[in-house]
């Protein structure tokens, strides 16, 4: 019997993937729903080997940017294109993570609001642990982290 780690606080979580991350997204979607989270799938909702991640990732990023109480998880073959696209949206700090430690640091140090996962590089078991670490971790109250995120936001606002 598999142990399911339950998070105390249920969250609103948005998911998106192209064909490269479709099956991992579906597994994580079920995992999060089993934990009681409110999950919205931005697509693709079917496996389509000709789809483009931008069709799903950019609307998700826009939604996360508007609603500061939400987080997003995006999936691709490597996760690189997805994270690049998401980071083009103002107020998004998307992080490609390959371990639980990277996910915790992305939240603690960078106040990341979108997690990107590469299905070709992590197993579904690892992905569940990475997502759980991302969701359970809060932004650090350390002044240096706040200062850095503020500097990124200021730069982004002045160059948009």
**Domain range summary for the chain, segments of one domain joined by +:** 12-158
Catalytic site residue from 26, 109, 145, 156? 109
82: annotated active-site residue: yes
What is the predicted pLDDT for the residue at 160?
75
The model carries a pTM of 0.93
Catalytic site residue from 82, 108, 120, 145? 82
Closest of 94, 90, 53 to residue 75, by C-alpha: 53
pLDDT above 80 for 75: yes
Instruction: Quote the Cα angle for 37-42-43, to 5°.
Output: 115
The correct answer on CATH 3.30.2130.10 for the domain covering 12-158 is no
What is the predicted pLDDT for the residue at 8?
57
Query: What digits encode the pLDDT tens for the residues 95-154?
Result: 999 999 999 999 999 999 999 999 999 999 999 999 999 999 999 989 999 999 999 999
Per-position DSSP letters for 92-110, written without gaps between them: --EEE-SSHHHHHHHHHHH
159: annotated active-site residue: no
Report d(CA 36, CA 41) in Å as an integer: 15
Residues 18, 76: contact at Cβ < 8 Å? yes
């Amino acid at each position: 019997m598999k142990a399911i780690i339950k998070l105390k606080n249920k969250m609103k979580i948005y998911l998106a993937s192209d064909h490269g991350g479709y099956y991992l997204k579906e597994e994580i979607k079920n995992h999060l729903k089993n934990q009681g989270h409110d999950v919205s799938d931005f697509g693709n909702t079917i496996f389509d080997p000709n789809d483009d991640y931008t069709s799903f990732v950019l609307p998700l990023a826009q939604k996360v940017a508007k609603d500061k109480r939400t987080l997003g998880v995006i999936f691709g073959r490597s996760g690189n294109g997805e994270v690049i696209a998401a980071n083009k949206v103002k107020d998004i700090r998307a992080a490609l993570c390959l371990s639980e430690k990277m996910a915790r640091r992305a939240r603690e140090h960078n106040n990341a609001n979108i997690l990107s996962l590469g299905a070709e590089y992590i197993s579904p078991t690892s992905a569940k642990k990475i997502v759980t670490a991302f969701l359970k971790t809060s932004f650090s109250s350390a002044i240096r982290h706040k200062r850095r995120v503020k500097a990124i936001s200021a730069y982004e606002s002045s160059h948009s």
